Structure 1
Amino acid sequence: MSYYVIYDGNCNLCVTLVQLLESLDKGQQFRFIPMQDEPALREFNITAADCEKGVILLNPDQPEQRWQGTEAAEEIGRLLPVGNVFVAAYRALPGLKWTGDRVYEQVRDNRYALFGKRSQTYQPLYPACESQGCQL
């Protein structure tokens, strides 16, 4: 089963993290959809307002099952080999989750100013959607 990661394909930081995840996962667990792919987003009833809240991870077998923002980042980490150990520690340390959520919000809201904006949307190596639609 593959999860779909919906990311900002124009954000330098976001693209760098997607490329890292692509190199670690090799398309085994994760497929990717840039937030700029409006037809794909429509297939999953994801709006521009949803995208403003940050990265989205969804289970295409159960599209109502989705994580967003830090919850998505944690779930992605949990699904990676030995990632569960790090996510459990992060969640267990008092105040760290709250701090992480605030840092995420600041980076999300200022990502272009902090890391720059790409002139072209990054097309992933392991796309969830091709010209014939998304792999459901």
Structure 2
Amino acid sequence: MAAAETVALVLDEESPLPESAADVEELACRLRGHVSQLGLVVPPEAPVLRRAQQLASAGIPEGYMPSRVHLVRLAEATQDLIAAVQAHDVPPAKPVQRRRWWKPPINVLRGAVFALALACVVLAASVPRT
């Protein structure tokens, strides 16, 4: 979904061309991220994937028109990659969720600290003095 929105920002007739080099760089970076995410779903030998990866790995050319042309080509390759994912009827990969650890309530922590401190006091009191 996000990849289609980014492609629409570049290819839609109503959206203007990026004005600055920073805008071009930001859009290219977003498209590169989408290519890498969609590349996990498409078979590695797919020509659509290879073309998109080649364009994503190429640097942005200097100059106003060459940079915009490269951005449009990268967006078209990303659009083809989206179509390939939809043609394979494979849902996009879900991000891996990290395991969340149980967070104890504050009173449990206070009780554990108190028990540890009490054990240290008892241990210190049981050591013979010299």
TM-score scaled to structure 1, two decimals?
0.26
Considering Cα pairs closer than 8 Å and 6+ residues apart, tell me whether 1 or 2 has the greater RCO: 1
Scaled by the length of structure 2, what TM-score is found? 0.27
Query: 1 or 2, which has the higher strand percentage?
Result: 1
Larger Rg: 2
The structure carrying a bigger helix percent of its residues is 2
